[in-house]
Amino acid sequence: MDRFSGKTVVVTGGNKGIGLAIAERFAAEGANLVVASVEEQVESAANRLRNSGAGAIGVLCDVTNKAAVEALYDRAEEAFGSVDVSVQNAGIITIAKIEDLTENQWDDTMDVNTKGVFLCCQEAIKRMRKSGTGGKLINTASGQARDGFIYTPHYAASKYGVMGMTQSLAKEVALDGITVNAICPGIIKTDMWAYNDRVWGELLGDYSPGELMEEWVQNIPMKRAGEGRDVAGLVAFLASDDADYITGQTINVDGGLIMS
């Protein structure tokens, strides 16, 4: 498949986990990639994509900083001439009982997960409107935009915000030929897996390493955790011409864990 040949795709949080899987899927389908992260290994991710034959650059970017986000999209246009698809995937999570949850944890989570999506969408829309050829925005929400989990009210709030923002923007930019959709990954094997298992396991009971997440996986009808490729396939579809009449939607990718 070569659906994205000649197109430029920006992926924030694209240096590892779900973000890297998304970037690799687009690279395999011919896209030029701009992977962004606050972490230094973003250049290693870009090298990995280039080694696969794709055009790719890595950009250090704090998605909570407007000037840094503007510079990110400037770099994308300088390198490849346009921004055709933008995937707002950068995100963080902390887990704590309400009495231990700090104001800084709340603010940091909302800044990255919600404000970061807003700033990137704002800048991507500006570039897409300028080009006059439309575009695709895909925002990473979470199963917690459907069903808030225990000990993560700030994370759930941030992801509900992504879902609402997606709907609002989809209405605003529809006549520009820009679609805006969101995805809700469920339990996916990423770098967050071990952290989530350890901290939730400690707070919920005496779980040995690996036990809690495996117990949760048993509640998934498919009886397996998701892989990055499962999420990447959905994102690639939403960015393709096949999804031109889909906008304002939030789609679960969770093996049937949440059916609403």
Q: Which residues carry out catalysis?
A: 155
The C-alpha atoms of residue 182 and residue 237 are separated, in whole angstroms, by 12
Task: Kindly report the backbone phi and psi dihedral angles of residue 258, in degrees, each rounded to the nearest multiple of 5, phi listed first.
Answer: -125, 120
CB 19 within 8 A of CB 11: yes
Alpha helices in the chain (DSSP H): 17-28, 42-51, 66-80, 103-110, 116-131, 153-173, 192-204, 211-217, 228-239
The C-alpha atoms of residue 239 and residue 231 are separated, in whole angstroms, by 13
Q: Which two tokens stand for residue 106?
A: 């709340």
CA-closest candidate to residue 235, choices 13, 23, 1, 57: 23
Rg of the chain over CA atoms, in angstroms?
Answer: 18
